[in-house]
Structure 1
Amino acid sequence: MEQTLIIIKPDGVKRKLVGEILQRFERKQLTIRQLKVAIMTRELAEEHYAHVKQFDFFEDMITYMTSSEVVYLILEGTEVIKTVRKMIGATNSLKAEPGTIRGDYGGDSSQNVIHASDSPESAQIEINRFFGN
């Protein structure tokens, strides 16, 4: 079975959307393998978002992601990455289709409620980063 990492970001946690988001995944018959709530450390945030370090929004993103609790989960299922990416919608919530998580709950383009791995390789790296081996 394929696995992916999900992060429900601070805006999703603060707005009490965790249960609704988890319910959407369970309705798609995806299995929650692990779940934890924590405040992302600056070190982990910088590592996770290193691919956008050169952009002006990097520092704001790090501040946002470390501002309060997030929910990390490992989801498992057949083609889970493809399924979840379709469910969450476009990165920019303002362009996400209604019916997707970001389309229904996202704020602006930077506070878009949720992160999901975009490939099997990314999923493995991210799962190891936030849950260990």
Structure 2
Amino acid sequence: MSRVANFSIRCLCNVVNSTACGSGSSSRLLKSVPFHQRTVPEPRDQKLIPSSSRTITTAFKDRPELQLTLALIKPSVCAYQPDVSAILKEIKQSGLNVARSKRLFWTSQEAHEFYAEHRGRFYYDRLILGMISGPSLALALYGPDAIQKWRSMLGPTKAYKSKWQHPACLRARYGLGDTRNGFHGSDSDHSAIRELSLVFDGWDTQWWLDREQGKLPVDDGGKLNPLGF
């Protein structure tokens, strides 16, 4: 029986709580505010910030700094849904959280744009062909030191090497070869910002992180920001 990718929001939500809606605070709905009025004030004087804002900021102060990273589950792994479900469970158990998820059907142009920095490498054509061979699953993961934590779960880029040196890592268990290694993870904050913006249509990751960490002013009603969510 051929292995067919079969993703659904219900499936993802059964494994990772609220992946389609984001984290708890980000799942609240936008109020009906005209788009041109949706601005976040930046008071220059601390006295201008409502007392409720200072209280919430203090509550977030002792929490670890959050980080976002892009995780891609490539077509060679997505071809078999039970493997995808098992991987999502591992992500949840690792302490990483899912802010956004998206099923990708990349065109050749989109794959070329994403992997532009690899252009000219001997494996480049095989990499592009692999990424457009079927659907991928993109996850925006967040948590303290999320970039390094996800890359540690993946293991070395070369899947064959991983099978000997790190047999428990994801690439050792699910990778098919050094090019079709099954996964991608951002390697730095700069890469994460670029990749998340490409995959999630210009997503402002810094604003999202500031909101999650209580760094945005709030109104006296205790909302997370003036937009009401």
TM-score class, shorter: over 0.9
TM-score by length of 1: 0.95
Whole-Å Cα distance in 1 between the matches of residues 178 and 194 of structure 2? 24
Say whether residues 1:130 and 2:199 are aligned partners.
yes
Task: Please state whether the residue corresponding to 1:32 is helix, strand or coil.
Answer: strand
Quick one: higher RCO (CA 8 Å, sep 6+), 1 or 2?
1
Specify the code of the residue in structure 2 equivalent to 1:129: L
Aligned counterpart, 1:53 = 119
| Amino acid aligned to 2:157 | T
Deviation of residue 85 (structure 1)?
A: 0.7
Give matches, 1:76-95, under 5 Å: 76-95=142-161
Identical amino acids, percent of aligned pairs: 30
Equivalent residue pairs, number? 133
Q: Which has the higher strand share?
A: 1
Q: 1:78-121: per-residue Cα shift (whole Å, max 9, x none)?
A: 00001111110000101111111001111111111110101111
Post-superposition CA distance 1:43-69 (Å, at most 9, x none): 221011111211232222111101110
- Normalised by the length of structure 2, the TM-score is 0.56
- Within the candidate set 75, 84, 90, 1:10 is matched to 75
Alpha-carbon distance, 1:38 to partner: 2.1
Determine the structure 2 residue equivalent to 1:40.
106
Give ranges in structure 1 of 5+ residues lacking alignment.
none
Shift in Å, 1:15: 2.7
- Which runs of no fewer than 5 residues in structure 2 stay unpaired? 1-65, 204-229
Secondary structure, counterpart of 2:168 in structure 1:
coil
Q: Which runs of 4+ in 1 moved over 3 A?
A: none
Match of 2:176 in 1: 107
Report the structure number with the largest CA radius of gyration.
Answer: 2
